[in-house]
Amino acid sequence: MDFNHTEERVMLRDTLQRFLGDSYTHDHRRAVIASGRAYDETVFSALAEQGVLGALFTEEQGGFGGRGFDLSVVFEELGRAGVIEPLLPALLSGSILAGMGRDELVAEIITGEQIIALAHGETDARYDLNHVSTTAQAQGDERVLTGTKTNVLFGAQAGHLIVSARESGDVRDEAGISLFLVPIDAEGLTVVDHPNLDGTSGATVTLQQVRLDPAARLGQAGAGFEVIEAAVARALTALSAEALGAMEAVRDLTVAYLKERKQFGVPIGKFQALQLRMADMLIEIEQVRSGVILAAGHLGGPRHERERHVSASNNLVGRVAALVAEECIQMHGGIGMTDEYALSHYARRLTMIDHQFGDVDHHLMRFTAFGAE
């Protein structure tokens, strides 16, 4: 099997690499975060203009990519640069809306005109996508939403939220979950913004008797679980690729430091103990690359294959990310922990990736469950 990228993907990768290399530095990211902004609107608009958001969607959806390897190419470069702009929410919400026939909203996402955030996670759910306690009760033709959503990526910056709510069934049933498009200014909706560990923006969304007309429901009543699961699988593949890019950036920083830092008159990279630790780490990073390829290659396959490979990749990413972050910080010494040094951001981002949509243990259990099917 040929794992080389197509000419179009190589061009996309090189374009993205050049743009981020020229305009996106650690100091730039720190300045954006220090200013209180959730992201750089100019950078996000430039990414949209260059077609990066379009690469996340198929031609039928208004883009020009949308396959697993398109996602991996884009997000590996985003991870390498440490980008905090809202491309993951665009992928999540756009994947859901594309499956619901809302092409006009997908077009706005691709052009960067609007941010639409997925509000699905809840406090007691852990990482289980089927756990939804937010309710959507029928009152005449309207649906009244009540509940709380946590860790909503860029929820405070969004123009609309895609909210999951239960119309029927028990709190952990897969059936009975519906999706609703809720404007951010809807009466009864409260959004509390908070910065995440890695500088990205999160939010807690509270819905108190939010009244919606029938047109607000996306798709059929109670049929939202499969759509959410498929969209999250795409997001998990993207996160695996982003983690790979971040690990490679960390590797490059550490190799450069080992060549520059001297003890006893020689670079510390000459010491065999550090060489062996770096060699072990490089092997683990290459295993992550294989995991990303498998996840991307099976993203369009049957559910059990897709979910098994996605969970295998994310379990591997979580384990290797912890190893890479810890080893590189130790080899750097105290400087590796300082906010002024880029390694600290990558370490925080790798930690966050392991806790978005499932940690190591969660994906090990999912891999075991789907592997048994």
Q: Do 162 and 154 form a contact (C-beta atoms < 8 A)? A: no
Residue 289 and residue 196 share a domain: no
Tell me the pLDDT of the chain averaged across its residues. 94
Q: Does 134 reside within a domain?
A: yes
- How far is residue 299's CA from residue 309's CA, in Å, rounded to a whole number? 8
Q: Does 299 reside within a domain?
A: yes
Q: What's the whole-number mean pLDDT along residues 218-226?
A: 95
Quickly state the pLDDT bin for 92 (edges 50, 70, 90).
very high
pLDDT computed for residue 373 by the predictor: 55
Quickly state the pLDDT bin for 1 (edges 50, 70, 90).
low
H or E element that contains 17: helix 7-23
Residue 362 and residue 231 share a domain: yes
Residue 152 and residue 136 share a domain: yes
Number of domains in the chain: 3
Please give the structure tokens belonging to residue 263. Answer: 């003890």
End residue of a domain, out of 221, 243, 263: 221
Residue 267 and residue 311 share a domain: yes
**What backbone torsions phi and psi does residue 5 show, to the nearest 5 degrees?**
-75, 150
Residue 348 and residue 315 share a domain: yes
Q: Does 294 reside within a domain?
A: yes
In this predicted structure, the answer to whether residue 372 has a pLDDT above a threshold of 90 is no
Residue 231 and residue 367 share a domain: yes
Residue 127 and residue 110 share a domain: no
Residue 151 and residue 29 share a domain: no
Please give the structure tokens belonging to residue 267. Answer: 């670079």
Query: What DSSP line would sit under 75-111, residue for residue?
Result: HHHHHHHT--SSHHHHHHHHHHHHHTT-HHHHHHHHT
Full residue range of the structural domain in which residue 315 is found: 226-371
Q: Does 183 reside within a domain?
A: yes
Q: What's the whole-number mean pLDDT along residues 86-102?
A: 94
User: Which stretches of 261-302 are DSSP H helices?
Assistant: 272-297
End residue of a domain, out of 221, 248, 278: 221
> For the ranges 3-7, 117-121, 241-245, 355-359, which has the lowest average pLDDT?
3-7
pLDDT computed for residue 4 by the predictor: 77
> For the ranges 3-17, 82-96, 124-138, 275-289, which has the lowest average pLDDT?
3-17
Residue 250 and residue 348 share a domain: yes
DSSP letter at 223 equals B
pLDDT computed for residue 101 by the predictor: 83
Residue 350 and residue 261 share a domain: yes
CATH number of the domain within which 81 lies? 1.10.540.10
For 122-164, the pLDDT digits (tens) are 999 989 999 999 999 999 999 999 999 999 999 999 999 999 9
Model's pTM, two decimal places?
A: 0.95
DSSP letter at 6 equals P
R_g (Cα) of the chain, nearest Å: 21
Query: Beta strands 160-166 and 116-119: pairing type?
Result: parallel
Q: Does 69 reside within a domain?
A: yes
Question: What count of other Cβ atoms lies within 10 Å of the Cβ of residue 303?
Answer: 13
Quickly state the pLDDT bin for 334 (edges 50, 70, 90).
confident
In this predicted structure, the answer to whether residue 99 has a pLDDT above a threshold of 90 is no
In this predicted structure, the answer to whether residue 61 has a pLDDT above a threshold of 80 is yes
Q: Does 65 reside within a domain?
A: yes
Residue 354 and residue 239 share a domain: yes
Q: Which single residue is written with the structure tokens 């997000």? A: 75
For 158-182, the pLDDT digits (tens) are 999 999 999 999 999 999 999 999 9
> For the ranges 72-86, 120-134, 328-342, which has the lowest average pLDDT?
328-342
In this predicted structure, the answer to whether residue 206 has a pLDDT above a threshold of 80 is yes
Q: Does 336 reside within a domain?
A: yes
pLDDT computed for residue 308 by the predictor: 96
**What backbone torsions phi and psi does residue 346 show, to the nearest 5 degrees?**
-60, -40
Q: What's the whole-number mean pLDDT along residues 308-332?
A: 95
Q: What is the distance, to the nearest Å, from the Cα of residue 205 to the centroid of all Cα atoms in its chain?
A: 19
- More confident position, 5 or 273: 273
- How far is residue 50's CA from residue 231's CA, in Å, rounded to a whole number? 24
Q: Does 2 reside within a domain?
A: no
CATH number of the domain within which 360 lies? 1.20.140.10
Residue 367 and residue 263 share a domain: yes
Q: Nearest to residue 91, comparing CAs of 279, 284, 249, 241?
A: 241
End residue of a domain, out of 163, 190, 221: 221
pLDDT computed for residue 2 by the predictor: 60
